Structure 1
Amino acid sequence: MEENLITEVGDNGVLHLPALPCGTKPLSHQVAGHRYGVGKTKLGFLQNEDGTILKPVQSPPRGQRELDFYKRVFNPENINPILIKLRNLMPKYLGTWTSPETPGVVYMRLVDVAHKFRKPCIADLKVGPVSYDPEATPEKIEREKLKFPPALECGYQMIGSRTYEPETGEFHSANKVYFRTLNKDTIASEGLARYFTQGGKLRKDVIRHVLCKLQEIEHWFNIQTELMFFAMSILIVFEGDIQLEEKSENNQSYNSADSNHVGCVNGYSSIDDEVEVKLIDFAHVFKTDKKDMNFLAGLYGIQMHLKMLLKM
């Protein structure tokens, strides 16, 4: 679709799409979430020419809640040490953004976590056995439960992924439809393993690094008793533009003898610049006075499955 196209022809005639703001285009490496041209509003993630991501503020109360949360966390006058530590675990918020083409649409401008990567391999994992918030209607609760029932046991669900294949120069993608065909016994072997596999080899070096990053997230959730998060995701990005042979020779082997060992130095491993792990989606954040055990249960499930992959 050309950048300035505002209509498209569908089966029943012409469907009107919101005009794309000047200097933007639909997010090319999106794996989940609202997509431009799809859904009721047709609004979706955009990428700006300056390398940032534009996320449209959703309808209230979800959209305003997420916007307020970003503003609170990244307020330069904020002195809450818990929220200050949280900044490093989120995409950086750069304020709101509007355009003359769509003056009624407000976007949140965020740093694109994948922008620095040549061939970003991306996965979106929704964390927590419970994905509905305390204000959800009975109908909403039932819909959420039916989306991926195994989440009650494994603690998380995969929403989307894409992995670069160096041998073919193509990305292999999977969406929520595929992942919802899995169960608690196959989500690790056919979900996570699918995402972390390049050239027929499991990227255990990346998995070890992701586990190191998850330790930092786990630490934050174990010290905070102010917030609880529902339907929040962990976004994982790793560099896919790597020659597998060179990687095996110059770094530790993908299937080395100590491949099940997670060696974190100050919370990070040796390929820090080639892996990012961030918390995203804050439309369902609520106050609390206790640990967020729902999120922690999901996080522990992810960590357990990643450690299982290291033993494969």
Structure 2
Amino acid sequence: MQQVYQYIVLRNVSYGKYSTKYGCDYQLTATTMHHTDRGCTGDLSRPKTVTESMLLSSGNSVQHGAGKPDSDEDQGQVTVTSFTMQVAGHVYGKKDKKQGMLHLGEGLILKALQDPPRGARELQFYQRVFSPTNTDEVTMALRRFMPAYHGTMEFDGVGFLKLENIVEHYTQPCIADVKMGKVTSDPHATPEKAAYEKSKCPSAAILGFQISGMMIYQRDTGQYERVDKIAGHKLTTDNMISEGIGKFFGYPKAIRKDVIEILLSKLLDLQYWFTSQRQYSFYGSSLLIVYEAFICDKDTSSGQSSSSSQSKTCNATVSSTSKNQGSSESNCQSATCSETLPKIDVRMIDFAHVFSTPAEDSNYLHGLTNLIQHLRLLLEFES
């Protein structure tokens, strides 16, 4: 079931960066909320009525980066839905928590800002990287590795980042959230917090990365297989290939080496950035990896694409994944046999624990290097 909110801004409002001053009231125009079924149990399966006022602001005074700024066009009806393509992290509305992500449409998602100082730290990092006045080559180089930042927005009494939806133009997206670093707790964490984070995934101390969640499209069934953080944290150095990162890329029978080769080139580029920069250290940050599982069927007898076969595949895809904000009929129509390169993307996400440092970020770099080595092993495997 889809979680849908509709609301109207009664009149304009301006606000600051993080601490918002509200200048007007807002009215909820549709109060019925249904949670999307993501394989969870409990309250998520029951309709819930929202009676509190929903808050929205246009963000005209917020600093914007490379993305489009908010405008008066935002002062109309807006629809926010649950983000069904999320594979890790907090789920918005679960157990009444106002954390996680929502889908805004038009290629954008909303990510709830955490309580200070984490939320403020992440917002400031996005603003610094995507500021139009930014001239620092180190941070400017990060833009191609991050979701584009489009300002902020207030909703449901919570401040949100407006970010690029990385999976928007995929037909059958396979998605993995890979948390980076031997140590995921930041320098300000208490000894108890640091020990707890370490205990959740013991293998991360060796590998330098851990699987926080995966969503893998199975072509034989036309369904998605999900791997949650509990299963991901149980992966070890012995089965990370067979049950973890290798499984994500089709190990052992149909390894997507075409995708892995492109991903490796992107990760090597990111690795070079980390080896050369001496400004930031990243804790609890992840790599979001997305690739297109859709493969256009070929008519081997004629050497031409089979339009009927592709049409059937597209129709099935649209009907089965139309609820996912990364899929649409237009996307399916664009996935033609004329495409020569597989669609693959990787972005850094989660910046609530970014700190200034004059040293190399060896913690993150260790995990990135090991991840690259695992991908190279997959390329050598004969499927």
TM-score band, normalised by the shorter chain? Answer: 0.7 to 0.9
CA contact (8 A) 1:26 1:44 kept: no
Q: Which residue type is aligned with residue 3 of structure 1?
A: V
Residue 43 of structure 1 deviates from its aligned partner by: 3.2
Supply the distance in 1 between the matched residues of 2:213 and 2:101 (Cα, whole angstroms): 15
Residue 50 of structure 1 deviates from its aligned partner by: 1.7
1:72-91 aligned at under 5 Å gives the runs 72-91=128-147
Q: What does residue 105 of structure 2 align with?
A: 49
Residue 308 of structure 1 deviates from its aligned partner by: 1.1
* Larger-gyration structure (1/2): 2
Q: What does residue 169 of structure 2 align with?
A: 116
Return the match for 1:190 from 243, 261, 267. 243
Q: CA RMSD in A?
A: 2.6
Supply the distance in 1 between the matched residues of 2:34 and 2:344 (Cα, whole angstroms): 38
* Higher RCO by CA contacts (8 Å cutoff, separation 6 or greater): 1
Q: What does residue 232 of structure 2 align with?
A: 179
Residue 305 of structure 1 deviates from its aligned partner by: 0.8
Supply the distance in 1 between the matched residues of 2:191 and 2:89 (Cα, whole angstroms): 23
User: How many percent identity over aligned positions?
Assistant: 38
Q: What does residue 257 of structure 2 align with?
A: 204
1:133-172 aligned at under 5 Å gives the runs 133-172=186-225
- Which runs of 5 or more structure 1 residues have no equivalent in the other structure? 251-269
Could you list the per-position Cα deviations for residues 113-169 of structure 1 after superposition, in whole angstroms to 9, with x for gaps in the alignment?
Answer: 111111111101001111110000111101101010111111110011111122322
Return the match for 2:284 from 228, 231, 243. 231
Q: Secondary structure at the match of 2:258?
A: helix
Quickly say closer, same or farther: Cα 1:167–1:7, change in 2 above 3 A: closer
Tell whether 2:122 aligns with 1:66: yes
CA contact (8 A) 1:148 1:157 kept: yes
Supply the distance in 2 between the matched residues of 1:190 and 1:80 (Cα, whole angstroms): 41
Q: Which residue type is aligned with residue 181 of structure 2?
A: G
CA contact (8 A) 1:227 1:285 kept: yes
1:193-272 aligned at under 5 Å gives the runs 193-197=246-250, 200-243=253-296, 271=341
CA contact (8 A) 1:163 1:198 kept: no
Q: TM-score, normalised by structure 1?
A: 0.85
Tell whether 2:341 aligns with 1:285: no
Residue 40 of structure 1 deviates from its aligned partner by: 5.8
Q: What does residue 254 of structure 1 align with?
A: none
Supply the distance in 1 between the matched residues of 2:201 and 2:299 (Cα, whole angstroms): 39
Q: In terms of mean alpha carbon deviation, does 159-168 or 87-96 score higher?
A: 159-168
- Which runs of 5 or more structure 2 residues have no equivalent in the other structure? 6-31, 36-41, 57-77, 305-339
CA contact (8 A) 1:179 1:187 kept: no
Q: TM-score, normalised by structure 2?
A: 0.70
Residue 15 of structure 1 deviates from its aligned partner by: 7.3
